[in-house]
Amino acid sequence: MQRTFSIIKPDAVRRNLIGHINQIIESSNLNILASKKIYLTKIQAETFYEVHKGRPFFESLVKFMTSGAVQVQVLEGEDAVANYRKIMGATNPAEAEEGTIRKLYAESIEANSVHGSDSEENAKIEISFFFSGSELV
Ligand code: ATP
Ligand code: MG
């Protein structure tokens, strides 16, 4: 069993897609251990996407991620990191496979509806950034 971290991004929360996205997650052998709706602060969004600092899309990305509420979640299942990345689909929805969350719901390469950790190590860092141990059940 492995855990991963997910964000349902502001574009999807705004369009009432939390339930639709979680239906795909739950029917893909992933359990939702924790889930809460929050507003990211500018500093949280900058820290979260720090690896992209200096890229041309960084400032716009931070603005987008703080433009509305997000749903942060911890998912658990076999190969959760890779499994969730697969059902999310490619970063650019134009390149995402049929049936993936981004193919179904993303508005653009920026407003692409979901985040998922890209490694088990980053999953641990991201989970502890938003959740305390007692919230994971
Ligand atoms: P995430 O980290 O959100 O799960 P990802 O790992 O698929 O997405 P990254 O390369 O880490 O993709 O980019 C982080 C986020 O930055 C993307 O999900 C998207 O919202 C935004 N982004 C990435 N590339 C671009 C781009 N070329 N133009 C605009 N926004 C972009
Ligand atoms: Mg990424």
115 is an active site residue: yes
C-alpha to C-alpha distances, 43 to 3, 46, 65, 85, 87, nearest whole angstrom: 25, 5, 11, 25, 29
Q: In terms of pTM, does the model score above 0.95?
A: yes
For residue range 61-78, list pLDDT tens digits in order: 999 999 999 999 999 999
For residue range 89-103, list pLDDT tens digits in order: 999 999 999 999 999
For residue range 11-36, list pLDDT tens digits in order: 999 999 999 999 999 999 999 999 99
Whole-number Å distance, alpha carbon 132 to ligand 2 midpoint, is: 22
Q: Which residue of 55, 107, 112 sits with most ligand 1 atoms within 8 Å of its CB, as the best mutation to test the pocket?
A: 112
Whole-number Å distance, alpha carbon 133 to ligand 1 midpoint, is: 28
Find the ligand nearest to 95 CA: 1
Could you tell me if 81 and 121 are in contact, meaning their C-beta atoms sit under 8 angstroms apart?
Answer: no
H-state helical runs in 31-131: 42-48, 58-65, 80-88, 101-105, 120-130
To the nearest 10°, the Cα dihedral for 60, 65, 66, 68? Answer: 120
Q: What integer pLDDT is reported at residue 137 of this predicted model?
A: 87
| Cα(50)–Cα(99) distance, integer angstroms | 30
Q: How many helices, marked H, and strands, marked E, lie in the chain?
A: 7, 4
